[in-house]
Amino acid sequence: MAPPPVSSATGWQRGFWCLMGTQFQNAFSDNALKQLIILVLMTSAAASAGGGSQDRMVSLVTAVFSAPFILFAMLGGWLADRNSKQRVMVNVKVAEMGIMAFAGLALATGNVVLNLAAVFLMGCHSAIFAPSKYGILPEILPHEKLSWGNGILALLTFLGVILGTVAAGLFSDALKGYEVKGLEWIAGPILMVIAFLGWLLSRQITPVPAANPTCPVRINPVTNLWRQLMIIKQDRDLWRACWGNTGFYFISALVMMNVVVFGRGVLNLSDTDNSLMNVWLALGIGLGSVVAGYASRGHIEYRLVPIGALGLALSTVPMGTEGVTAGTFGICMATLGFSAGLFIVPIVSVIQHRPAPEDKGSVQGAVSSLSFIGILFAAGVQWVAREVFQVSSGQVFWICGATAIICGAYAAISRGRFIKAE
């Protein structure tokens, strides 16, 4: 018998907000490092081989970051079930400080392989972290606050993603004003300090007992993912939510990759302006996630999913139109973000709510694997669309919109009602 959740109607606030702070730091650091390395390698590729090589470099870095989630997410799920999720997160933050030291070394050398290795290691860190951060939420929150908590989590996650991306652009442009080149390594020590702050916050997350301390080893990325998917498939709502979540991450990754290319090649934005364009996306996601959280209080409101999917699709139409201005593009990014918040909050709530307590970590591991299969697939679509079919970077946004319609229809079919979160 799994131990009962430790949440109660009172006393959960400190642990919850420390979890939110830790997750914000995690998302910020992940994306600051990844984006900075993308910008560094894109600049190098442009100097040596031109624009097509830049597209390939963006796809390559995204693929390298995604691979660990496919390889190690099941390991992360097993660790989350077998051990205290809070303790797993604390240990992962310790490892992050070492990874950031290595990243500083990689940036100092300018070696492509070392930079890709740093991105891969950060992906490993996040793959282990993800099942615990999502799995612990139902254990430290009262049930009626689960959708609200997911709204806050989505808000802070995507704010971290966007602000990390913005920080990388600002840092990259700031260094271009110096005569001494190769100063990007300074990001390593800065991110080490930020990781230390994340470690301090993680120590204040509500301690929870191991949900399944006798859980057998489940770390094979293929056979164990397949077995877990067969278990998930028995729950129709959970199955549809998992694939809706995968589609969402495919869309998100494709948008984020394409914004970098579109901003440089079509809107002629600087690295700073390109990254700041994502602020519109962050504001939209923040508002959409909070609205979804409050609209779903005490319930998982699946009717928000098709509304969000439709908004995602409509937002991409002007983005792919020839002659779109930076102002119009920014507004579309904001509506895209708002729709994304409406779309993902109920889906994540279903994924957290439906599994049995002793299986939440395993389910989150499987979901993380699927999410990053979606991101890896997005990297492939970006490259094939641009290199093989000569699709313009603007038209890639239309692929995102079409995918949103498909995912929204699939995830929400026959679910036009409230689902009580209890």
Q: In this predicted structure, what is the pLDDT of residue 171?
A: 84
Which bin fits 159, alpha (ψ -120 to 50), beta or left (φ > 0)?
alpha
> What gap in Å lies between CA 298 and CA 346, rounded to an integer?
12
Q: In this predicted structure, what is the pLDDT of residue 176?
A: 66
Residue 398 CA, chain-centre distance (Å), reads 21
Number of Cβ atoms within 10 Å of the Cβ of 80: 31
In this structure, are residues 35 and 164 in contact, taking their beta carbons and an 8 Å threshold?
Answer: yes
> What gap in Å lies between CA 346 and CA 350, rounded to an integer?
6
> What gap in Å lies between CA 125 and CA 140, rounded to an integer?
23
Please give, one letter per residue, the 3-state secondary structure of 191-237: HHHHHHHHHHHHCCCCCCCCCCCCCCCCCCCCHHHHHHHHHHHCCHH
Q: In this predicted structure, what is the pLDDT of residue 149?
A: 87
Phi/psi for 209 (5° steps) reads -70, 160
Phi/psi for 160 (5° steps) reads -60, -45
Q: In this predicted structure, what is the pLDDT of residue 369?
A: 84
In this structure, are residues 291 and 386 in contact, taking their beta carbons and an 8 Å threshold?
Answer: no
Pick the closest to residue 130 from 217, 69, 55, 82 (CA basis). Answer: 69
pTM of the model: 0.74
> What gap in Å lies between CA 413 and CA 375, rounded to an integer?
24
**What are the Cα distances from residue 154, in Å, to 157, 294, 325, 341, 344?**
5, 13, 29, 7, 8
Burial status of residue 286 (CB atoms within 10 A of its CB: 0-12, 13-18, 19 or more): buried
> What gap in Å lies between CA 370 and CA 77, rounded to an integer?
13
Q: Is the dihedral of CA 243, 247, 253, 256 positive or negative?
A: negative
Single-letter amino acid, residue 367: V
> What gap in Å lies between CA 414 and CA 237, rounded to an integer?
10
Phi/psi for 395 (5° steps) reads -70, -20
Tens of pLDDT along the chain (422 residues) come to 344 444 444 568 899 999 999 999 999 999 899 888 888 887 776 656 555 566 677 778 878 888 888 888 888 888 998 999 999 999 999 999 999 999 999 988 888 899 999 999 999 998 899 889 888 988 898 877 887 888 788 788 878 887 888 888 888 877 765 544 567 788 889 999 999 999 999 999 999 999 888 888 766 778 888 888 998 999 988 898 899 999 998 998 899 888 888 988 899 888 777 777 777 887 888 889 888 888 876 677 888 999 999 999 999 999 989 899 999 999 999 999 999 999 988 888 888 888 887 777 788 888 888 988 888 888 889 888 888 888 898 999 999 999 999 988 887 665 544 444 44
Q: In this predicted structure, what is the pLDDT of residue 400?
A: 94
Q: In this predicted structure, what is the pLDDT of residue 96?
A: 96
